[in-house]
Amino acid sequence: MDQPHRNQGYPLQLLYSPERIQTEIARLAKEINASYEGRELLVIVVLKGALFFAADLLRLVTVPVRMDLVKLSSYAGTESCGTVRLTKDLEFEVAGKDVLVVEDIVDTGLTLVYLLDLLKQRGAGTLRVCTLIDKTERRQAEVTADFVGFHCQGGFLVGYGLDLDERMRELPAIYQMIQDHDGEI
């Protein structure tokens, strides 16, 4: 296992290297290409965390794609406050479309359930979810992703788009934050 190191003052343990991330993304793209052959996809990228993931994934998707962005908020620091808000709405109509939501992490599932309900209300034709990371341990809402990069136990992750208070998104790998001896991250 790689040695823990500090970045911007925080102790981090490498979880997924850039190479591992790209291997899983190539697999996901293959699955998506096979599932949507002959159709056009409306991909909804959930900002900001899924931005890096979506950029790499969509470059390997061979079916025609239109992309839209949505922003939802429920987190402050490392804790979800449980109430989801839509802070940036979609540009495109979803009615009748083959919609694929691209998420960074499904954790409690509350954010995803909120978004899926909204897309259903707006009449999405088909609705599926691709997430880079599925953290099933803390799931509160009954929701499953259709395409999953990594299944992960828990812990707070940063890097490759994932932030701690807007920092560390730019790290090329995904790291788990390690608790200091006083229990603080």
Interface pick for ligand 5GP out of 10, 63, 163, 178 (rule CB under 6 A): 163
Query: Among the candidate windows 20-28, 37-45, 121-129, 156-164, which touches ligand 5GP by CB under 6 A?
Result: 156-164
Q: Is residue 102 within the footprint of ligand 5GP (CB under 6 A)?
A: no
- Comparison of 77 and 123: residue with beta carbon closer to ligand 5GP: 77
Q: Does the annotation mark 107 as catalytic?
A: yes
Nearest approach, Cβ of 56 to ligand 5GP (angstroms)? 17
For the chain, what is the HEC assignment?
CCCCEEECCEEEEEEECHHHHHHHHHHHHHHHHHHCCCCCEEEEEEECCCHHHHHHHHCCCCCCEEEEEEEEEEEECCEEEEEEEEEECCCCCCECCEEEEEEEEECCCHHHHHHHHHHHHCCECEEEEEEEEEEHHHCCCCCCCCEEEEEECCCCEEECCECECCECCCCCCEEEECCCCCCCC
Q: Which residues contact residue 27 at a Cβ distance below 8 angstroms, ignoring those fewer than 6 apart?
A: none
From CA 185, how far away is CA 179, in angstroms rounded? 5
Out of 56, 98, 107, 134, the active site residue is 107
Minimum distance between the CB of residue 38 and ligand 5GP, rounded to whole angstroms?
30
Q: Which of 75, 126, 178, 185 binds ligand 5GP (CB under 6 A)?
A: 75
Q: Is 109 in the site for ligand 5GP (CB under 6 A)?
A: yes
Q: For residue 126, which of 51, 181, 50, 44 has the smallest C-alpha distance?
A: 44
* 56 near ligand 5GP, judged by CB under 6 A: no
Q: Which is nearer to ligand 5GP, 109 or 149 (CB)?
A: 109
Can residue 73 be called a binding residue for ligand 5GP (CB under 6 A)? Answer: no
Among 49, 69, 70, 94, binds ligand 5GP (CB under 6 A): 49
Active-site positions? 107
Tell me which residues touch ligand 5GP (CB under 6 A): 46, 49, 74-75, 80, 103-112, 156-158, 162-163
